[in-house]
Amino acid sequence: MKIALAQLNYHIGNFDSNVNKILHSIRQAKDQGADLVVFAELAISGYPPRDFLEFTDFVDQCQVALKKITPVCNGIGVIVGLPTYNHAPKGKPLFNSAAFLAEGRLQQLVHKTLLPNYDIFDEYRYFEPNRNFEILNYQGKRIALTICEDLWNVHDNPLYITNPMEELKILRPDMIINIAASPFNYAQASERKAVLQKNAIKYQIPLVYVNHVGAQTELLFDGGSLVLDGKGSPVHELRYFEEDFRVVDMDHLDANSPMLQPVQVNEIALIHDALVMGIRNYFGKLGFRQAIVGLSGGIDSAVTSVLAAEALGAENVYNVLLPSRYSTGHSVDDAKKLVLNLGMPYDTIPIENGFNAMEETLAPFFKNLPSDVTEENLQARVRGVILMALSNKFGYILLNTSNKSEAAVGYGTLYGDMNGGLSVIGDVYKTKVFQLARYINRNKEIIPENIISKPPSAELRHDQKDSDSLPEYDVLDEILYQYIEERRGPKQIVDMGFSRELVSRILKLVNMNEYKRYQTPPILRVTGKAFGMGRRMPIVARYLS
């Protein structure tokens, strides 16, 4: 049997686009002699549709889309994901389903059994789990058709009490097909492959895996669809961060076949490619073309600007330099050098007049109190007003340049430098921002060396450095990582060699600043625990604060 893997970039709720992509791939599969073509989980709706699933009209349009695809499925089988109705009198109203189409009609529906309900996943909010296990029979092959999480209960600490493949193996399948929507983080590709290999080895049959590719707001899907032989060896692997298509002869799997593109093991390269794709898709799917960036001469805005230029084209990234009385000459020069290196448009708009106007307006009400963080925040907010005004006037999307370290401890100004339509590096710790800058400069100097090597500073007062308020970033980031990603408590982190006072201070900052993160733009997710939809913390709690 020849199986076509169709790895596509879907658009949530854009049924015409999704159906057209699917129909094109079916024709392509037919032209290349495939017997069966496989699409991803919830391909028709896009993933994750979230509360669109609460609208009957949305689910009905998914069924209409399926009916447009079905008549084309003559001479070829098609597996495609979509939400379907649960007509039982009890249970959730929907299933997360895989439709098997052949001979011009719907032959079989297979429903997802294991519904993830952790981190970014919220599937049990909408879907009823499958409880009946059947094999898909097609052209003399017995196929165990599974959906994403259905293959993930193979860890030493199983999350679910059911393992769908244990039920299906009794029916003696010849192969496993898994359709998935597996979001990217920089460790996910290797973990995913290990899970799939465990299944192929355990059941000693080949495995076909088809994943989404592309960005859906903050969630990034990296593709990397796979075919494994019955020994768990990768035989075919589709591209990462790009649409791809491959026809595989399952009767003649050769473990020595060359992969089209080897997996990138460099996590910084993966993060870079994911962020570029995330920016490009966010703009493209919203119908925007141009970004605006407040370029300070610091490393965060420099990296953000370069990533945007790669995603959108340098001509579509408008950089605005907003110097104040505290800005150093070299910061302005560094920012200008960067935009000239890439040929990006820019303007310089000093904020002194706006800052003076705010100081004068507020002076009678500040009661002669000395300058403090209030005046620092005023500068950031003047900049924010200017950037948002330009965004409104010309239709740019403002890119937020805050990194994860700053966002974690609240080192940013609401309605100032925390403004934006998209947070590009909000899931990238400061130490990794430096690594990204070095990666960007891997072939030639794009980001001026002085931007990378100088001590980080917000430049909101004379001689200010980030280290005045925060520990060195290599220390801060490790504590943050242990708390946020690894969910370790203060005692565990102290036992790793950090001072109790420092750990207490940092964790208190993280928890006290939840209210700020609640108001930030969507953050492109590149780690296993990003701020946003996958990390749900109460604002008014007292834990460690």
Residues marked active site are found at: 41, 112, 148
Query: How many residues belong to the chain?
Result: 545
Cα distance between residue 473 and residue 467, in whole Å: 8
Calpha distance 74→58 (Å, rounded): 27
Partners of residue 106 on adjacent β-strands: 101
Is the distance from CB of 228 to CB of 235 less than 8 angstroms? yes
Give the integer Cα–Cα distance in Å for 204 and 232. Answer: 8
Q: What angle do CA 361, 365, 367 make, to 5 degrees?
A: 125
Residue 307: count other Cβ atoms within 10 Å of its Cβ: 26
DSSP symbol at 5: E
| Count of alpha carbons within 13 angstroms of residue 168, beta-carbon side | 31
Residue identified by tokens 């130490």 is: 431
DSSP string across 253-299: --TTPPPSSPPP--HHHHHHHHHHHHHHHHHHHHT---EEEE--SSH
Nearest CA-CA partner of 73 in 30, 119, 17, 124:
30
Instruction: Write phi, then psi, for 351 (nearest 5 degrees).
Output: -100, 5
Closest among 81, 158, 168 to 127, alpha carbons compared: 81
Q: Tell me which residue has tokens 């509360």.
A: 51
DSSP state of 223: B
Q: Which residues contact 505 (CB under 8 A, 6 or more apart)?
A: none
Encoded amino acid at 213, one letter: V
Helix (H, G, I), strand (E, B) or coil at 482: helix
Q: Which residues contact 174 (CB under 8 A, 6 or more apart)?
A: 141, 142, 143, 205, 206
